[in-house]
Structures are given as structure tokens and as C-alpha cells.
Structure 1
């Protein structure tokens, strides 16, 4: 356990955002506060998750026994992670609003601690001992890209093995207040045009005040995006499932090649496939999608100074694009084919939708940091009231697609072919083996956001893993299961071309 505490403490020492608490979170003016000490035992939670033995007879003929065993393990892992999206963070003034969860097979861990050998049924053919380490965080501390930074730092710290001098008897002593990076509205040089300001005032302030029926401003149901059930603040239960995974790097490269040949990105294609599936289940309704966009690359270097380096410093810097997909666009995705014909490879409407979303995302990123709604966020005087005012009302969008891209080989610890952590008997096991990251899984809650969240993460040369999450009671489970079945079938079709 000391190895994990030493490594985590080293990450905290190097990342100022991880070394603070939050005072007055329930007030209009919460602030980060210096924590002079952090008990590292409170920042790590160990959870047993025994890897199941492969079934003697696969239930699914298309999957091997090993693949079905992995699927069962992943399902249990995601079910375990669901509960971490539900509770509020407690004692934020006394401890940071983040923690790591280490899911482990106790039989493997026992062998590691005793420096004994791992029995064949509890290690893979390469003899690699594995843990699933999850970084859970309050959004004030980090965004998804910050999660990648954290895991890269942790991988390096685990391989370094040195104990920071600030760590004594499980307690990390931080005598000097950390130098935090500037807030987003200071760090990102937002600019606004008068056209954008006036349009936003009309949409957000004036239009809602007008009598909709008198001025014929009330949209029909078909023109109102479908977003599931209204926001329910009383039920935080979250569901998470695997949408699909592509751990065959050659297949992933082939899929990316198809996207490029159609002038689309993988994000654009996934938007199109999600819309196609939902269009066949939710009839005669428009949709709205949301795509988070990282802002770190737009940081003003003169303002950041030494306190912020894009790709190196954990921060929460994210905006988004939320276009409306009108009924005509959705009907084109439905097509006139019979229900049984679900092939997508030659569906021009799918690729047209993917191209349009790709173009919209590229236009948005090219325009930043100009005319972004976050530039006006300072006008909201009470964020708690702003969020509470949405309870019981429709959500902003139908689905959110958050694509973190892939963790690079250096941060994954895979740039050196010798950089592996092998479980070997004997006293020199730590000298002979190293830690590396071979997959990334990204999940998030859906409290007041979109009806459905699709989350994409991956590791260079190890493919991608895509999850789907939704709030209990917000959407019909059958709809989600059909969406999962559709995307798994369509992705399989595309990669087998």
C-alpha cells in the first residue's frame, strides 16, 4: 500500500489543483483553500473485484471464453463505479474533492505483497498483474483531459517509487499554499462580438419573457428536441454500460481511414450513428447534441506564466457545441428501408450527418475563444439558484458525446519496450518490472446534463473503450439497450469492411 501512497503523494505535490479544498461551496462565492495536511489513506479506496474464470462453454458463439470473461469483469467494474456518481462530495473544506478507487483481485494483490508467484489462473499469458485505478473528481478540480494528465503523472510516480519528503506516516504535509493556475475567465482570452451578445440576450433573456402564444413563439412538439424525462433532482442513481470497445488497433485505424475518406472524424461518425439509432426509436422529434471541447490550447501564455502548461497542468477548462438537429435531418437518417435492413456502410445520410457534425466542430474550434457562451458566465450571480431553477424542466440536449481521444504512449508508460510491470517471484521484482497503462475507461454522471452521455477514451496502440451513462428513470432502458445493440452491430460492420 505504501507504493500507492508514495506515488499519489508525489502527484499531489506536482499538481496544485489537487492540494486544495473548497470552502463555502453552498454559498455564492466558494473559494479554494490551502490544506496544510492531507491524509492519503482517505484519498485511496481499495475495492475487491475478483476476475471471473472463463466459462467452460461460451454463451455467445461470436466470443471466446476469455472475451466473455473480460466482458463479465467489465460489467462488474462499471456497476461498481456507478455509485461514485451519486453522492455529494463531503467535507470539502477539510479534504480535497477527489479520490482514487483501486479495483483489484485480492488473490493477485496478495501474491504481489508476499512477492510470491501468481498462479496461472490469475494472470494472463504475459504474466502482467493488473489493477483498475479510477480517478474520481469534483468538476471544480478537473475536466476529462485533466484525468489523462493525472493518470500519466501517476504512472510515472509509480515507476519512480521514491517517497516524497512531505509524506510522513500517511500524512502529506503542505506547509506552503500551492500556486494555483488562473481561473478560466482569466486564463482564456474570450472576446465577444455585439452580434453574439445581442443574440444571446434575445434567446436567454427577452424571448422567454414574451407571451409565446400571442407572438406565435411556442414551438410544436416536433420542433422541440426530445431530451427524455424532465430533470429529477431527487434521484441521483446513475446507470453505466459498455457501449462498445475496439481493442484491435488495426480495426480502429481502418475505421478512422473510412472516416477520413468521407471527410468526417470519428466523433462526427459516432454522432451520426447515435442519431440514426434514436431516430428509429423516437418518432417525429428533433434532437440536440452536445460535444464538450477542451479550452486548454487557447490559454494565454502571458497570463498563465509558470502556473499553467497545456497538457501538463490539471485544470477545468471546457466549453461545448450544442447544435439542433431538425426533423428533416432526423428523417433522412430514418430512411425508407425495412426494419431488418440496418447496414450503414453505404448509407449516404449517415456520412452526410457525420460530415456536417465534423464541419461544425471544426468551425467552432477555429472560432474559439471568440463568441463563446462561457464568456458570459460571470453574469450569473448565484450558480446554485441557476441550477435549481432547472429542476423539473427539460434537459438541454438529447445526448452528449465526450471524446477524450487517446492517452499518448509516453503518458501510458509504453514508449519504452521494456516498460512493463511483470509479476515475478523473488526480491528483484520491482527492479525488473514497471507499470504501464493499457486501457482507459471514461464515465460521467447525468444529473442535469443530457438525457444520455456517451464517453470515449483510449490508449495509444490499445484501441478505444466507449461507455454510455444515463440517470435512472430519465430514459427507457429498452431504448438504451437498443442503442447499444445498434452501435455494436454498426461498428462491427464498419470495421469488418
Structure 2
């Protein structure tokens, strides 16, 4: 048995109008739901419901092309707009991670499934494990319809054909494996999701070295369905499922549930994860609301931006691809950096922000350095209660959904100028790092304190609480293309993934485990320019990816940023 992605020649449907306030989704026919997802009953022109839908009309047209390797700004805006407006905009933030992201994990195969003789058995076992895992997560079982209307909708699908979502690749040559992996990740970052009306917004590429006992699993998702932590949860529950199946006699799903790669879904309007505002209390002060309103609506010619902007990095309405650089930090260096962070009362997230600041401030010309703004992505699951009223089944820490926000970090002109002056005065790289170390730690500590203050305030004055006031998201996103970029970078740290939950059993050969992970996001159409993504496997390596849009700035800036991240992590751990 071989599972492959069917690459239909279908173009991504773009939005012609935008959702205003409420988003709809499908429940059982005739059921009206008093929650963010409201049923609509429609028919096709023939009067009959389309196959696979419960009386929902599909809109959009199919074309004889689909775009590979690059996407226009308008395409990304359309995808980002969906990302923003779906789920009442409660947990999406403007410009966060665009619309495509990848969490890649390397799985160790148990001994009894290794070798060419077990190839078919391995693929069948894997498909059943993925199917069981998908059934745990409703957001992996829904489609998106009416993308060109004022009310895009989640649609309940009767089934998911896994042959459209899982691709197996057998790699014969180990010599260029890492290079081919990175090229595949770059390709997947810019490969459009299609047929979203009938296929959930995720796909999986399973890469196997013919001479190795590992599977490299690229889980690619469309951001309206879930966030980075949701993808981490997906891999964790998949690992649990794999190991549960190893010790269970009921390995396979019955044919009523999975047959010929087609999985019968369990999603309903009742088990869709709620929006964040449905389960939490959000507070916005008058001053914060007024500041946000002025920031979004002030005249273009007004004096000063709310944050120091990166307007020298224009938003261009031309096709672009994602530039990507990858870095792996060994566990010894990681532990040394963590110890240094603890000694300075900061974190790896704070340190990565600090490194981005000193690296970019050292590189960029004076005319671009009136100040700098960076961002940090925040997982908001901590503020969602366990089993809230109406959602007693909800476990936020196991929810593959969207519970994310972000915050800004401002660095004033005097601090930026100080970094520039110290960097220019140094005669060597080592001397420069010694001169900048105090500034680096000062910035890293400040970021950590800002994050702590933000989390201590819970949801007060969070962007989430103010997004509901936006009436026309199409205009909102179009306006964003006319404004300066708000920030130069964003740090998204997914933390540590426990890749060996069976470690206490002592028998590593019989169980599944994850040996490494990589987290990558596509380039942003608007918002921040550099995306710094990090994840570590417990007891293993730290992976850091830096991505940015091509053909806007000199790629050497991003390459130097990546080099500086590596150099600083080694320097501070010494």
C-alpha cells in the first residue's frame, strides 16, 4: 500500500469580499447553534446538496493551474484575512505567521517495523495511527466554504480522504538528505492549499531513508485551523497514539471508520473548540482602546508611528517566495545557554529577542535605526479554563486549535545608536561580542520582564479583546499594505517537546520516539519581516529557523542574523 498526495490542478480561491463580524459553520441540518458557529442551509443550483456536505453550497471556481514555489502578496493577504476573521478573530493576530507553517519531527521506528520487508506494514500502521489522531482533533476534519463571501464558514465534512493528505517519500541517498529536506520544507512553505471546501487545511509528508530507521514527518497546516502549539500537540498525541497501538490488540480501525484511505469523521458543531472570548473574560481600558483606535485610524501624514517601524522594508504586490535558513544547537550548548539565561533572570525567548536586536542594529545603516520593534508570539491556552460551562469536554493543553496572541518590544533610538557605536568600534567579532554583551543581556531581561507583565495582566488590553471592533477585515488588511511594517522580527518559541514518553520503560526498541523537531513558518505578507522559530526535543537539540520574504532586502542580513544567533548561543554558554 502506498499513500500519495493527489495534486489536483486547482487554484486557491481568493477572497473578493471579507467577513465582517460573525463566522458561520455547519452543524446538523436544521440545527441553529448559539455559539460562534451558526448553521446555514443552502442548496446547489440543481437543488441537491453537494456530495460530502450537509446541504451547504460550494462557491468559487476551479482553474487549470496552481501556483508552486511562490505566492503573490494578494494571495497571502487573502489567506491571512481568513486566518484573521475565522473564529471571530479571537485568537489570531495581524500578520502572525502568515498562512502556512510546518512542524517537522523525526520519529524512530520500532524494531519490528524496520526494513524493506515491512514497508507496506509500516505505511498501513502509520495511516491508521494518523487516522486515530485526526479523530481526536475536530479542526483537522473541517473544510472552509464561501471564501469569496462576507461570511466564510467552517463546514462539517462526512469524510477525509487521507490519500489527499499523506505523501510517502523514500530517499535513497543519505549524503544529501539534509539538503533535500530543507528544500522540501521550502517547497511546502509556498505550496498552496487547495480544495479547502472539501479538504481540511493540513497535509503530511513522510520521508524515509531507505537505509535508516527514521521517519521525517512534515506536518504542514493552514493557519486558520491551528497555531504552532496546536501543531506541537498534534505530534505529541500522534506519538501517544503510535505507542498505544503498539501495545493494543485493536491496531486497525474498523472498515466503517477507515476504508481505502477514506476516514469517516467525528466532527460536529458541538465538539468544535470554542473561540477564546467564549471561555474567558477580556478587559479593555479606555486608554488602551483609544490608543489602538488612533494607531489604526490616524492619517498617514501624522507625526509618529506608535512603534518604531520598519518602513524601509516595503510590502510589494509582486510574487515572492520564502527565504529560509536553519540552525541546530546541540544539547550541551543549549544547556549552557539556559544556565546563562537563568543567571541573568531571562529565558531563551528573551535571549533570542536580544540577539535579534543587537545583530540587526549592528548591521543596518544609520538611516534605518530611529528605533526598533520586535515581537513575541504568546500561547494563550493558559488563560482558557479546563472544561468551561458549555464546553465541559475542553482540555486547552490538548486542543489542536488557535489560542495565540503577540506583543511588541520597543527599543528606543538611543539604545540602538549605542549598539551601532559599540559594534563599529570593535576590531574583531570576539571583541564586538564582548562590547555588546551587557546590552544584549539588558535587552533580553527587558523582554522577559515585558512578557511576564503581559502574562500577569492576563487578557487585559490584549489585542484579542479589541479585534471584535473591526467591521470590514478586507479593508483592514488592504490598509495594512499601505502602512509601514510594524516590526522587524518576531520570535515564536514552542518550547520543549517530550519525544520519548516511554523512557522509563527502558525498552526503546519496541516503542516510537521523536529524536528531533523543526518549526518553520512562511514569510509574512505584512507585519514583521524576520520570523525566528524555535523548538527543542527533551534531552536533544534546539532547532532554530529564520524565514523572510525574498527580493525585498539583502539576503545577507538574514544570513548574518542566523550566524549571530549561533555565535551568541555558543558565546553565552561558555
Q: 1:258 aligns with which of 340, 345, 355?
A: 340
Shift of 1:8: 0.9
The aligned counterpart of 2:186 is 82
Q: 1:51 to 1:272 in 2, by over 3 A?
A: farther
Which SS does the other structure have where 2:468 is aligned?
Answer: helix
TM-score relative to the length of structure 1:
0.82
1:353 maps to which of 443, 449, 453? 443
Unaligned runs of 5+ in 2: 1-122, 246-250
Could you list the per-position Cα deviations for residues 111-149 of structure 1 after superposition, in whole angstroms to 9, with x for gaps in the alignment?
xxxxxxxxxxx34xxxxx111111111111111111111
Tell me, yes or no, if structure 1 residue 401 matches structure 2 residue 491: yes
- Of the candidates 403, 409, 434, which is equivalent to residue 511 of structure 2? 434
Q: Deviations over 1:210-263 (max 9, x none)?
A: x53xxxx1569xx84335521234324112111x32232x43222111111112
| Among candidates 161, 169, 180, match of residue 260 of structure 2 | 169
Q: Partner of 1:312 in structure 2?
A: 398
For residue 443 of structure 1, what is the aligned residue in structure 2? 520
Map Cα deviations across residues 423-470 of structure 1 (whole Å, 9 max, x no partner). Answer: xxxxxxxxxx22111111000012323111110011111131111111
Write the mapping of 1:349-388 to structure 2, written as runs, cut at 5 A: 349-388=439-478
The residue matched to 1:160 in structure 2 has which SS? helix
Q: Deviations over 1:86-117 (max 9, x none)?
A: 23321111010111111222x2xxxxxxxxxx
> What's the secondary structure of 2:521's corresponding residue?
coil
Aligned to 1:16, which of 138, 159, 164? 138
Offset, 1:38: 0.8
Q: Name the stretch that deviates more: 154-163 or 365-374.
A: 154-163
Which of the numbers 388, 392, 408 marks the counterpart of 1:322? 408
Q: CA deviation at 1:393?
A: 4.3
Q: Report the CA distance shift for 1:50/1:392 in structure 2 as closer, same or farther (over 3 A).
A: farther
2:181 & 2:435 partners in 1: Cα distance? 33
Q: Is the Cα–Cα contact under 8 Å of residues 245 and 464 in structure 1 kept in the other structure?
A: yes
Matched with 1:59 is none
Give the conservation status (yes or no) of the 8 Å contact 1:22–1:30: yes
What is the TM-score when the length of structure 2 is the normalising length?
A: 0.71
Q: How far apart, in 2, do the equivalents of 1:227 and 1:82 lie?
A: 26
1:202 alignment partner in structure 2: 294
Q: Identify the residue that residue 426 of structure 2 maps to in structure 1.
A: 338
Alpha-carbon distance in 2 for matches of 1:251, 1:485: 15
The structure-2 alpha-carbon separation of the partners of 1:389 and 1:176, relative to structure 1 and needing over 3 Å to count, comes to closer
Counterpart selection for 2:360 from 274, 278, 297: 278
Contact 2:358 2:436 survives alignment (8 Å): no
Q: Tell me the residue number matched to 2:47.
A: none
Task: Give the Cα separation in 2 of the matches to 1:310 and 1:339.
Answer: 51
CA 1:396–1:225 in 2, change beyond 3 Å: closer, same or farther? closer
Q: Deviations over 1:67-104 (max 9, x none)?
A: xxxxx643431221112222332111101011111122
Match of 1:478 in 2: 556
CA distance in 1, matches of 2:445, 2:337: 15
Could you give the per-residue CA deviations for residues 383-420 of structure 1, whole angstroms, max 9, x where no partner exists?
A: 233223333543221001111100135xx434334453
Q: 1:326 to 1:187 in 2, by over 3 A?
A: same
Per the alignment, in what secondary structure is the counterpart of residue 87 of structure 1? coil
- Partners of 2:434 and 2:394 lie apart in 1 by 44
Partner in structure 1 of residue 161 of structure 2 = 39
- Contact preservation (8 Å) 2:141, 2:156: yes
CA contact (8 A) 1:191 1:375 kept: yes
Structure 1: 5+ residue stretches without partners: 54-71, 108-121, 124-128, 423-432
What SS class does the counterpart of residue 324 from structure 2 fall into?
A: strand
Q: Which residue of 1 aligns with 2:534?
A: 456
| Distance of aligned partners of 1:307 and 1:382 in 2 relative to their CA distance in 1, 3 Å threshold | farther
Contact 2:308/2:373, CA 8 A, preserved across alignment: no
Structure 1 pair 345–466 and aligned structure 2 pair: CA distance change class (3 A): farther
Distance 1:362-1:75 versus aligned 2 partners, 3 A rule: farther
DSSP-derived class of the 1:29 partner? coil
Measure, in 2, the Cα distance between the counterparts of 1:392 and 1:235: 17
Name the structure 1 match of 2:218. 134
Aligned residues: 435
Question: Is the Cα contact below 8 Å between 1:295 and 1:318 reproduced in 2?
Answer: yes
- Give the alignment of 1:111-260 within 5 angstroms: 122-123=211-212, 129-161=213-245, 162-165=251-254, 166-174=257-265, 177=268, 179-205=271-297, 207-208=298-299, 212=302, 217-218=303-304, 224-226=308-310, 229-242=313-326, 244-248=327-331, 250-260=332-342
